[in-house]
Amino acid sequence: MSSQISLPTCSCCFRIIMPNDKCVKFNCPDCGEHLIWRCESCRESAQQYACQKCGFEGP
C-alpha cells in the first residue's frame, strides 16, 4: 500500500513548496475562505497573488 502526499504550490509562481521552505500561508484577506501560499522569493519581491475563490489581488 502506498500513500501520496500533496504538497502546496505558491499562489504567485506556482512552484511546489517543500516542507522546510521559508514560506507563509494565510486565508484570503477579503473572503477568508481560500488558503493562499507564498514562497520566500515571491514574498521578498512582493509578487502579486490572486484568490482563486473571490479574485482578490494583493501584494
Number of domains the chain is built from = 1
Which pLDDT value is given to residue 2? 64
**pTM for the model:** 0.83
Which pLDDT value is given to residue 23? 95
Which pLDDT value is given to residue 4? 86
**Selection from 40, 3, 34, 36 nearest residue 21 by Cα:** 40
Which pLDDT value is given to residue 44? 94
**Residue 33, domain extent:** 1-59
pLDDT per residue as tens, the chain (59 positions): 567 889 999 999 999 999 999 999 999 999 999 999 999 999 999 999 999 999 999 98
